[in-house]
Structure 1
Amino acid sequence: MENQLIGALEAGGTKMVCATGYANGTIVEQTELPTTTPDETMGAVTSWFSKRDIKALGIGAFGPTAVNPSSPQYGKILETPKTAWRYFDILGTMQRALDVPCGYDTDVNVACLGECTFGCAQGLDNVVYLTIGTGVGAGVMVGGQLIHGMLHPEAGHILVTRDPTDPLKEGSGCPYHDSCLEGLIAGPAVKKRWGGKRASELADDGEAMSLMAGYLAQALMTYVLCYAPQRIVIGGGVADHTPIVALARAKAAELLNGYIATPEIEHIEKYIVNNSLAGRQGIMGCLALGAGALKA
């Protein structure tokens, strides 16, 4: 199996990242295709993979999506704001076009799997992976298994307490919630609050970073208390191009206030960390997912 070529599809709301590689995480080839209409996009994706002799495929899709194999909607996108994609069958489309074993999960779950298999969470079986970019998503592994309950974790939408100094007095960047984590620290909220600026442009603004880190710290405390992970890994454009992870780490320790006394919290700089795979954790996780489908 180690020498068999595996396909990896990171299906995002903006772009589709298609790659081939091996079970050991080696990426052979990679390309990006724009996400437009389902027919146009998936036609281009299936065409790309059909020209490569892959033996299995791992798919990490944007959500919400049905990831439980027992669900009648398994493999389909669900109630996404991208209305053209609602109930589109990504998994079925790829299986019919390629006729190879396929693994299917969310984009953040496969990023979590990538870090657990190849990155800074190797050897751990209880891990939270958080991505902060145009949205906030969470992948959660418990007992060595990615969580698939009635759906998948949507921990980017947990409610946080608004900072009274927040310049964003009304509404948020989330169309569903006025005070969820995504609505207050993801890209749309940053632009709405600071006149169209991107988070990277505010990296040296101490007040802005402190505000965002405060919201992130509240969420981190919740994840620590609810999931008891062995490590929390944070990626995404906002996290990668600002100091909010380090700032939120310190604020989270203050919020916990000594209640959790474990070696992990004692060495919190090694416990709450930036991602380790230079943006490749999603594709590498898809390779691991595809390798698992090949074994099944």
Structure 2
Amino acid sequence: MIAGLELGGTKCVAILAGGPQRIAEWAVVPTTAPDETLGALEAILDGWQFDAIGIASFGPLDLQRGSATYGHMAATPKAGWGGASLLPRFAARYGVPAAIQTDVEGAALAEGRWGAAQGLSDHVYITIGTGVGIGAIVAGRPVGGVMHGEAGHMRVGRRQDDDFAGVCPFHGDCLEGLVSGPAIGARAGRSGAGVPDDDPIWQDVIDALAAGLHNLVLTLAPARISIGGGVFAGRPALFPRLRNATARSLAGYGTVDAWLASVDDRIGPPGLGDKAGPLGAIAVGLDALGA
């Protein structure tokens, strides 16, 4: 059994499980100050028996092994969390194998083990909510170099008549600045959750997101792109429009027509639904065991 911790900007989930069919415990705590939040999670884990710990966290994170701050939060817009010790804190307290990944890479690993990307060695998981996170799996492993990927902040091509400035405090009209929940709310002038599927602003969102998928398809050639998070949850009517917009953007280049021949299977919601994130922490913990 794995003690999984999915750390989010507004809430954290502690889960005790061995997989989607073996969930023994589940608890949620609000994300406040680091010591208060992590202490509340420790109080939960103290009552559990487990073989490893998996942490799937918002970031940015220091994931460079050998770094003095490996497993810590890096510079983050989440007030008070910069430099917070995550992996070292829990590993030292419980003395079991422990591992850490970004929340989106964790969800991607879970989708590969149990979800819509099961059996695929190359796939992508995207979460679109308060922000945009993109986790890429290539040859069965999360993609990372001298830092973990932040493809949610990539620049994308835009329609000439879309002059929305974007909401990202760092990049303005990067992908997150154009399609996140706050971006949709700013475009609509009201809560994004209340924007109906037939509102014209969705075309701007879909076109920008399709431009992002265009980049991912041509750089990583993933067999599957799973899109979760609060923005697309409960909006199945948006997926056909997104698939069509992605096909238009790719414009028949190279061998993309063969990829698009099964586009209904290539671009869609996560197979694990809203459990992809918490089960991502379990997948990270199983990796710590080599299981």
Opposite residue 105 of structure 1, the aligned amino acid is: Q
What SS class does the counterpart of residue 123 from structure 1 fall into? Answer: coil
Paired residues, number: 289
Amino acid in the other structure paired with 1:156: G
Distance 1:235 1:178 in 2: 23
Which of 194, 208, 211 does residue 215 from structure 1 map onto? 208
Given the two structures, how large is their TM-score scaled by the length of structure 1?
Answer: 0.93
CA distance in 1, matches of 2:30, 2:37: 7
Alignment correspondent of 2:169: 175
Q: Does 1:277 align with 2:272?
A: yes
Q: Check conservation: 2:158, 2:207, Cα contact below 8 A.
A: no
Instruction: Name structure 2 gaps, 5 residues minimum.
Output: none
CA distance in 2, matches of 1:259, 1:197: 38
CA 1:167–1:179: 2 relative to 1, 3 Å: closer
1:191 corresponds to which residue?
Answer: 185
Q: 1:26 aligns with which of 22, 29, 37?
A: 22
Deviations 1:81-114 (A, max 9, x none): 1131001111111112222111110000000001
Q: 1:283: Cα distance to partner?
A: 1.7
Q: Secondary structure at the match of 1:84?
A: coil
Kindly indicate whether the alpha-carbon contact (under 8 Å) linking 2:158 and 2:211 is maintained by their aligned counterparts in 1. no
CA contact (8 A) 2:197 2:238 kept: no
Q: CA deviation at 1:222?
A: 0.3
Alignment partner of 1:64 is 2:57 = no
Show the counterpart of 1:87: 83
The runs of at least 4 aligned residues of structure 1 exceeding 6 Å deviation read none
Q: Distance in 2 between matches of 1:68 and 1:230?
A: 27
Asked whether 1:205 is paired with 2:201, we answer: no
Q: CA RMSD in A?
A: 1.6
Contact 1:59 1:289 in 2 (8 A): yes
| C-alpha distance in structure 1 between counterparts of 2:161 and 2:188, whole Å | 14
Distance across 2 between alignment mates of 1:75 and 1:162: 36
Q: Is the 8 A contact 2:124 2:135 kept in 1?
A: yes
Q: Deviations over 1:202-246 (max 9, x none)?
A: 233341211110000000000000111111111111111334333
**Alignment counterpart, residue 262 of structure 2, candidates 267, 276, 285:** 267
Q: Could you tell me whether the CA contact under 8 Å between 1:25 and 1:284 is conserved in 2?
A: no
1:114-160 deviation line (CA, Å, top 9, x unaligned): 10000010111111111111100000101111112111111111112
Secondary structure at 2:53's aligned position in 1?
strand
Residue 102 of structure 1 is matched in structure 2 by 98
Compute the TM-score of the two structures, normalised by the length of structure 2: 0.94
Structure 1's unaligned 5+ residue stretches are: none
Note the C-alpha offset of 1:175.
0.1
> In structure 2, how many angstroms separate the alpha carbons of the residues matched to 1:208 and 1:155?
23
